[in-house]
Structure 1
Amino acid sequence: SWTNQLAALITLAALLPFLWALAVKNAYTEETYNVWSERRYRGAIVLLQIFRILLAIFFIGFFLDKFISQEIALFVVVILIVVLIFFSRRIQSLYFRLENRFMINLNTRELEKLVSVQSDLAPWDAHMANFEIPPGSEVAGKTLQELRWRERFGINIAAIERGANRINVPARTQVVYPYDNLSVIGTDEQIQSFNQYLESSESQNPVIRTRTEISLERVTITYDSPFVNQTIGSSGIREITHGLVVGVEHDNERILNPESNYMFEEGDVVWIAGNRLRILALQKH
């Protein structure tokens, strides 16, 4: 019926951006052009592109065949092929606009998560800031254990972003390199003191950034918890959660960045920064 045909066309229109990404999205990237410059790879690139286009056409034909006759489905596929040939650049431009809008919305949600983390830290008079290690800095090439930032400034290094890689809750043996982005948790005074220290180690001021993928979660130590009467260091929480204990609420007292020899007691509320799923799984222990 015409209602099925109309529903099929509307659904197909909604799927087109994804099918376009499958068929031709990477055809215009700088990486593709760089590989194309090597003659020995051109045949493989052409075959790969043909396969991707045929795969997209197959999905379109398979979908339409479920709702409309084979003759109409074939006609629609031919029309789509003609449109792709003559309007590929315009369609590509439209796709990029849709993709950019999607990324903006995604980044907005990440920013909201960051605001949530900062809100959780606010009652502790603590927050998270990011520092970029400049080239030539005296701290570059040293491990966190050698730098002893926690002992000297009271801060915690929640993560290190290095190029495309991100090291959540780095070990004390982790080496700091130039251009590393450090996610630092501490009070205003601790952050300011640490910033002044980094500035003094290099004439060029470090860049402070505000992006983080660390989640801050709370875990309550119950009477039957295996962590009761254990210290932070001996409890294995760091290894289990791949996280950092950044605060403990004990008898209406808040302890920011507690020492590793702090002993958990029943009723303690432990705040951990790190991977959210691992932290939540801690409740099962």
Structure 2
Amino acid sequence: MVLGYIVAGFITGPNFEYLPDVVRIESIKFWGDLGVIFLLFGLGMEFSFKKLKKVGGTGFIAVVTETIIMFSVGYLAGRAFGWNWMNSVFLGGMLTISSTSIIIKAFEDLGLKNKKFAGLVFGVLVVEDLVAVLQLVVLSALAVTSTFDGTVVFEKMAYLALFLLFWFTGGVYFIPSLLRRVRRWVNDEILIVFSLGLCLGMVVITEMAGFSAALGAFIMGSILAECEDSERIMKLIKPVRDFFGAIFFLSVGMLVDPAILADYWKPVLIISAIVVFVKSGAVTSGLLLAGNTIKTSMKSGFCMCQIGEFSFIIASLGLSLNVIEPSLYPVIVSVSIITTFVTPYYIRAAEPVYESIYKNVPSGWKVVMERLGTGRKTLDRESEWNLLMRSYLTRVFIFGGWLVLVFILFTKILNPFILSLTGDFTFDSYLFASLTLTGMSPFLFALIRRKDSAGLFDKIWNDSRFSRGPLLAMLGFKYLLGALFVALAISYYLRIGYGVLFIVVVITIISIYLSQTIKKYYSHLETNFIKNLHVKPVRKEFVVPKTLADEIHIESIEVEPGTVVAGKTISQIHRESRTGAQIVQIKRGNRYIDLPVKTEIILPHDQLLILGNDVEISTFRDLNSATAECISTSHQDIDLYHFVVCKNSLLIGVEANISDFRNRFDLLLIGIEKGEQGDFARPHSSIIIEEGDTLWVVGNKLKANEISKGNR
């Protein structure tokens, strides 16, 4: 579809002489810029910070690795072509981002959208969208200064961080609350006008702040994605997004000049080869570093062998700022066309390439390929310190950022405005210092009083007295940071000695710490913010560890009425169809049935969690009809774990019979790895569990932990 728009744009553009066409370049650029705004607004609606949280470290590691490699290779390639450093930098930025639309279309055409590795690819694309937006800001800063000044770039990024912090937290607090209050009076027409108005208003604000219009559209889209009505808004703006997105891609095609391509065919072919081979290799390397198997990493990396919409947006930015050569634009469009053609064939080639490599490497390397990415992660490996530090740093960043914003708001805007109305008066400095501290007080309270929402601080404090030193240092840093903000606010208005300043700061900190009024007000702010941020409560996802096997994963399927599955017991389904997939959970209305027994009857509209490999799950889905809808649902108490049978374990000598194991231990036994051999086997009554075996089980975490550590 994207390729068709580009070709249509070329045919109707000023560089195709055989049909009536558009000749005003200014009009093309205007409509192209408008298309970028609505395209980024739609991407922001699909982005959502909840999705970013679900990606975890895998997506970030993969994208950081890909960005470093592709940006470096792109820059070096540009310099090798004799281009100046600015063109080379923009080329590097264009090569780092894959095309979400092209990958989704390829998955649909190839029937891969529900495969296990597809979810990994979508997670990488979510992080790439964020990196692309950050690149727009950094490249804009480089373009304005025309030199690489690290100080300027750092200041720009710090400014961006504060800008995003203010608008995201403020937007999530106010906009969902406003929509909730006026919902009864808002029909579809008003809602779409309101949403698009917010988008364009944010575009104006970001341009006034010195950022690109695309960033503003993306920010407002991500804010609206956190609203209760986000799905309704997305459905309403989809035609607008698709229409203006098509206009953007048409404008891309209109600016392609064949005469320029005739002179730059060598760079086009070389850059295309870099995108296809180096980019897919970079993503594969990143996913390997993140702990995935070679097979999964290759299948995911081969999907990222193209560039698309964000590359065009970066090129358009360079042209609008007059910092790149006009010839670079048609070059990057041509590369996109070539790599789009290659994408489906390259995706198909991933598994054959892996199998070919596996067959031809020495036996020692085969063991490495089988084991790489399947490191053992035991049940008690979660680090409470890591979780606490993550929460601590997040809170320091958020509350510290808001203190900076409030200080700037009062010192640069509100207090000067009041002074312009009243003129100088007695004790005006004391009044302004008090107002500033009052505005900062809720965030000072949160900074110095709040620890963490999960109670990890108190747990670590009580568990080990040897951990109290670092914990005290963490508290001391927060108090010191709060005191510095108070001293900054007071010394900005009042000229007093250091001794007096110290006493005033201490008194202020103690007053804020003990104030019940400030505590009540902050609790109200926090409650509303968290309520809006988590407006669509989702049960903790049932996640299968990626280390079990390349193909084994979990799918969620709704039982359709009138199908082979509906109305039968689990044992009847397995006996008649032998799909190999196992039903590990049934959601029936608000009721959850974990590890259902074989006599459980499957009813229409039950939501089933199915465990198996791609073929087994696909076969089960066929039984349920080709139109069965996959639903994202989960249960917080059930998950998949594995552990090593230790000495004196009560499991030693037990038969690996699935039914007996489930009845005795309330866990579903999925597989066994025997001792040092590491051979993975399906459970069978002929297999006896021994010391050193690794068991894979599905069930309650507490139960699994209890069984794994239980002794005779």
The separation in 1 between residues aligned to 2:658 and 2:567, in whole angstroms, is 29
Matches within 5 A, 1:1-285: 5-7=511-513, 8=515, 9-16=517-524, 95=528, 98-103=530-535, 107=538, 110-111=540-541, 114=543, 117-121=544-548, 123-148=549-574, 152-199=578-625, 205-213=627-635, 214-233=638-657, 236-250=660-674, 251-255=677-681, 257-283=682-708, 284-285=710-711
Superposed displacement of residue 124, structure 1: 4.8
- Asked whether the 8 Å contact 2:545–2:641 carries over to 1, the reply is no
Q: Which has the higher helix share?
A: 2
CA deviation profile, 1:154-200 (whole Å, cap 9, x unmatched):
2221111111111110111111101111111111111112112222x
State the AA in 2 paired with 1:135.
P
Alpha carbons of structure 1 residues 234 and 164: separation in structure 2 relative to 1, 3 Å: closer
State the one-letter code of the partner of 1:252.
G
Consecutive unaligned residues in structure 2, runs of 5 or more = 1-506
User: 1:278 aligns to what SS in structure 2?
Assistant: helix
- Cα 1:188/1:150, change in 2 over 3 Å: farther
Tell me, in whole angstroms, the C-alpha distance in 2 between the residues paired with 1:224 and 1:6.
Answer: 56
Give the equivalent residue in structure 1 for 2:236.
Answer: none
1:229 Cα shift?
2.7
Bigger CA radius of gyration: 2
CA drift of 1:266 comes to 2.5
Deviation at 1:137, TM superposition (A): 2.1
Consecutive unaligned residues of structure 1, counting only runs of 5 or more, are 21-94
Tell me, in whole angstroms, the C-alpha distance in 2 between the residues paired with 1:164 and 1:149: 29
Partners of 2:661 and 2:667 in 1: how far apart?
A: 7
- For these two proteins, the number of residue pairs brought into alignment is 198
Which protein is richer in strand relative to its size? 1
Greater relative contact order: 1 or 2 (C-alpha under 8 angstroms, separation 6 or more)? 1
Shift of 1:217: 1.2
TM-score, normalised via structure 2 length: 0.26
Q: Kindly provide the amino acid, as one letter, of the partner of residue 206 in structure 1.
A: A
TM-score normalised according to structure 1 size? 0.60
Aligned partner of residue 173 in structure 1, secondary structure? coil
Partners of 2:602 and 2:659 in 1: CA distance:
27
Structure 2: which amino acid aligns with 1:279?
A
The ranges of structure 1 where at least 4 consecutive aligned residues each deviate by more than 6 angstroms after the TM superposition are: none
How many Å apart are 1:238 and its aligned residue? 1.4
Distance 2:608 2:646 in 1: 33
Contact 2:668 / 2:699 at 8 angstroms: preserved in 1? Answer: yes
Confirm or deny: 8 A CA contact 1:153 1:194 kept in the other structure: yes
